[in-house]
Amino acid sequence: MTITSSYLPSDAAARAATILRSAMRGEVVVPGDGVYPQPREIWNAPVAHEPALIAVCETTDDIRAAMREASENRLPLSVHGGGRVWAARASRPGGMIIDLSRMRNVEIDPQAEVAIVAGGARVADVIAAAAPHGLVAVTGNSSTAGITGFTLGGGYGLLSSRFGLGIDNLIEAEVVLHGGELVTASASENMDLFWALRGGGGNFGVVASMRIRLHRVEEILSGAIFFPWEQAEAVLGGYAGIAASEPDESSTLVCIVPGPERQPLLMLAPFWTGDRNRGDQAIERLTRLGAPIVANIGRTSYADVLAVFDAHALSGRNYTARTRWLPNMTPGVISSLIEAANARTSPWSVIASHHFHGAATRISSASTAFSLRRRHFMVELIGAWESGAEQDADVIHDQWADEASHALVAEALPGGYPNLLGPDQRDQIPASYGSNGIRLRILKRRYDPENLFSPAPSLPV
């Protein structure tokens, strides 16, 4: 099907496009071009923003040229880092998209255990490059996510309990600032910018490449344990007790997912990277929390672990999401999660809980822009529905997500995970960075004085 656009770019966007076509190695795409629909596509189907100009970059010099034109012409700016985000931060109506999806190169230094990652690389690119060397990176649970956006926003992952958040494994970043200047941010250069990038997301410039720390993991024990829905309350209560003393080597993702008949199922996805005997014992404890329908656990690869989660995040579906930080998995929280699952307005909706513990908690709150370093659960409430659903489907499913989120407020910590907060969730944004918010606002004004990067994870006002 051919998609046409009635949007006409402004004079400023037209001028920028003309200049960039002679300055860039990559493509410059505007409405009316035959290829325009393809680069403007994003993962979340309902979002159909009409950018005025898409700079499909292939080199760092392309990014610098695009940044200069965006600044010169005061074009609202967003960055598509190669992956996906439900809130459509990679698309800005009437603005410029800097599209990094062709910049996916990953270089591995096996001796230093470091990866040099281009700005548009996806999680799958990093995992595939590191695996032949017996190395893994701290990533999120989707192989199709962009590694840069994941990292800069904080970076919860299955390896975080052992090796810290994604931001804790960022060594340095090459950043193109608003006027096109290229700088290095690290622990020894542009330290303020390095601090802000680690949790403040893409609010300060375009990360053209990163150096990230890799880790040697000898063996991974993982899989999925599915419990029938009527056992959910008992299993979650038992898991809460286990989680209170979960060691660094263990990370368990708890999900409420659709079953074969679209009924909710409770899934525990254990992930163990330590001694095999201890791992077997830990997983046996989880299995005995109820009478599983299926318990498929064994030695596996990191790529295969991510493939399990990829199956629940299909591109082209409609998505809405909310997030809450919860200090404990209390009976009240468990009751609210079960009620939310029973009230789902779509069988494809998912509730996921990430246990934040271990190495990631042993880092000072002030050392990175991401400030919440106490043990907690990060809960995702993800509404998902097929395109062509009932009229006002987005309103219906947004309401479900809002109500499920509100039901957790009484027991939640202030704020929420910035990588998952949408632009309208103003009740949570101000508290999401804790006492680091003041410093972030100051640095935002220094590095992005024209506020070109407003679609990035929102900062407190």
Interval 131-151: pLDDT, tens: 999 999 999 998 999 999 999
Interval 269-293: pLDDT, tens: 999 999 999 999 999 999 999 999 9
310: confidence class by pLDDT, cuts 50, 70, 90: confident
- Position 371 scores a pLDDT of 95
Span between the terminal Cα atoms of the chain, in Å? 42
Q: What burial class does residue 144 get, using C-beta atoms within 10 Å of its C-beta: 0-12 exposed, 13-18 middle, 19+ buried?
A: middle
**Domains of the chain and CATH, by start:** 11-99 (3.30.43.10), 106-216 (3.30.465.10), 220-431 (3.40.462.20)
314: confidence class by pLDDT, cuts 50, 70, 90: low
Distance of CA 331 to the CA centre of its chain: 28
Nearest to 63 by CA among 201, 205, 211, 212: 205
> Could you tell me what percent of the chain has a pLDDT over 90?
73
- Position 358 scores a pLDDT of 98
For residues 405 and 434, what is the distance between their CA atoms, to the nearest angstrom? 20
Q: What burial class does residue 155 get, using C-beta atoms within 10 Å of its C-beta: 0-12 exposed, 13-18 middle, 19+ buried?
A: buried
Interval 142-178: pLDDT, tens: 899 999 999 999 999 999 999 999 999 999 999 999 8
For residues 154 and 149, what is the distance between their CA atoms, to the nearest angstrom? 9
Query: Is residue 210 within 8 Å of 173, Cβ to Cβ?
Result: yes
Interval 187-210: pLDDT, tens: 999 999 999 999 998 899 999 999
Query: Is residue 85 within 8 Å of 323, Cβ to Cβ?
Result: no
- Position 159 scores a pLDDT of 97
The answer on pLDDT for 43 being more than 50 is no
Beta bridge partner(s), residue 54: 29, 97
Beta bridge partner(s), residue 269: 253
Better-predicted residue by pLDDT, 393 or 227: 227
454: confidence class by pLDDT, cuts 50, 70, 90: confident
- Position 84 scores a pLDDT of 59
The answer on pLDDT for 1 being more than 80 is no
SS3 for 337-359 is HHHHHHCCCCCCCEEEEEEECHH
Q: Scan for tokens 């998995």, then name that residue.
A: 329
23: confidence class by pLDDT, cuts 50, 70, 90: very high
Q: Scan for tokens 């003393």, then name that residue.
A: 245
DSSP E strands: which ranges in 196-329? 206-213, 215-216, 220-227, 250-258, 264-272, 294-300, 318-326
Strands 96-99 and 77-80 turn out to be parallel
- Position 205 scores a pLDDT of 95
pTM of the model: 0.91
